[in-house]
Amino acid sequence: MSNHAQEIVIIGGGAIGCSIAYFLKSDPQFTGRVTLVERDPTYKHASSALSASSIRQQFSTPVNIALSRFGFDFLQNAPDVLAVGDDKPALALHEGGYLVMAGPNGGDILKAVHAIQTKENAPVILLNPEELAQRFSWLNTQDLSCGTLGLAKEGWFDGYGLLQGLRKKARALGACFIQDEAIGFTHKGDAISAVKLKSGATLPCDIIINACGPWSGKLGDLLGLDIPVRARKRNVFVFTCKNPPLDMPLLGDPSGVWVRREGDRFICGTTPKHGEPDPDDLPLEVDYAQFEDVLWPALAHRVPAFENIRQSAAWAGYYEVNPVDHNGLVGRHPGRSNLYLACGFSGHGLQHSPGIGRGMAELLIHGHFQTIDLTPLSYDRILRGEPMLEVNVI
């Protein structure tokens, strides 16, 4: 693809949009212009600012495992690669691991997923209940059939720091950020020729990228295109514990509840199980009853020390759920000749933002993916009715 005088417009300036801008502008072969349209540069409701900012190798699809591996390496090098002058983003990457557990009925699925991870060389081990009890004396293993523990390249980091680091570096490399909202489009044939902005301005474009996070489906509505991405609320609660377990990895409980350390406190949340109600577009008000009714009992059951905890803060944000298969949509949308998607990451987009940004830049500059083959995430699978289900949604 020639990129002479290419006008690339990215709608959405979260971690995904900023990462695409950064990787485009850092490729010496790219000579085009990059404009990011972000309606709220304070990121009040953006997922990238409300995330639990954790990273794991424990996915059920090879492409997600590869994206996480790339993501972890990127986070390790981020202070140097994202430095702007003397300003080096400190991303507080902590390699704490994940322990994903299965109850009496989930063991076969967890073992099958572990086999995929092993095939992809992810450093994850399978532990039986005795081994779990031996390793983690503070864990109630009575109703567990097995667990998988990541030994490397898993943990948590400063997600807001990553967003700001990508944004600053993209800017320093020449990407243009404008505060505005995309509200419509003009067309020439089967291509989008310009974006109409709320301010009344129009932005001409050769390529347009939908990186609107949880609102990506709504951008599709403006175009009359089906983009299966929905905004689904998730609460995160912060708590303190008097006698906390030491060296606790992020726990993924069979109940759907997750918990991890955050400095001297803990954060936790839950994901609805398959078939449970998960409405779109709920207001971002914290559902405090969820902590009392669902999270605390599950936490105290799994880690008896968590019987004695005090909830101290909370927030709510949107997962950008692709309800078809809980995986991202990356690459061209067949509905327009110049519309590209980078959305639908279903709660794992922050850790994958470096790999997605790099992949999108490769596709747009070189015409194909070079570092990681992201074609499994193409929209074509939706059209073909061949979803690629991500089993490990945490």
Ligand X SMILES: Cc1cc2nc3c(=O)[nH]c(=O)nc-3n(C[C@H](O)[C@H](O)[C@H](O)COP(=O)(O)OP(=O)(O)OC[C@H]3O[C@@H](n4cnc5c(N)ncnc54)[C@H](O)[C@@H]3O)c2cc1C
**Does residue 345 belong to the site contacting ligand X (CB under 6 A)?**
yes
Asked whether position 16 contacts ligand X by CB under 6 A, the answer is: yes
Q: Would you count residue 13 as binding ligand X (CB under 6 A)?
A: yes
What single-letter DSSP state applies at residue 32?
S
For ligand X, the binding residues in 213-272 under the rule CB under 6 A are 213-215, 219, 234, 236
Compare residues 43 and 296 and give the one whose CB is closer to ligand X.
43
**Residue 182 is a binding residue for ligand X (CB under 6 A):** yes
Among 149, 203, 141, residue whose Cα is nearest residue 177: 203
The reply on whether position 358 binds ligand X by CB under 6 A is: no
Q: Which residues have C-beta within 8 Å of that of residue 138, sequence separation ≥ 6?
A: 245, 248, 303, 304, 305
Cα within 13 Å of Cα(339), Cβ side: 28
Stretch that binds ligand X, among 22-30, 98-106, 111-119, 347-355 (CB under 6 A): 347-355
> Among residues 8, 9, 10, 15, which is the contact residue for ligand X, using CB under 6 A?
15
Contact 231, 318 (CB under 8 A): yes
State the residue for tokens 């600053």: 168
Place of tokens 């031996």: 134
Q: Could you say whether residue 50 binds ligand X (CB under 6 A)?
A: yes
Residue 221 has which token pair?
């509505």
Contacts of residue 96, defined as CB under 8 A and 6 or more positions apart, other chains included, come to 154, 155, 156, 248, 249, 250, 260, 261
Contact positions with ligand X (CB under 6 A) in 194-223: 211-215, 219
Torsion of CA 10, 13, 16, 20, to 10 degrees: 50
Residues 6+ apart with CB under 8 A from 34: 8, 10, 21, 24, 25, 170, 174, 175, 176
Residue 11 as a binder of ligand X (CB under 6 A): the answer is yes
Binding region for ligand X (CB under 6 A) out of 31-39, 114-122, 237-245, 364-372: 31-39
Does 51 interact with ligand X (rule: CB under 6 A)?
Answer: yes
Q: Is residue 37 involved in binding ligand X (CB under 6 A)? A: yes
Q: Among 22, 23, 43, 177, indicate the residue that binds ligand X (CB under 6 A).
A: 43
Residues at the site binding ligand X, with contacts judged by CB under 6 A: 11-17, 37-40, 43, 46-48, 50-54, 181-182, 211-215, 219, 234, 236, 317-320, 343, 345, 347-351
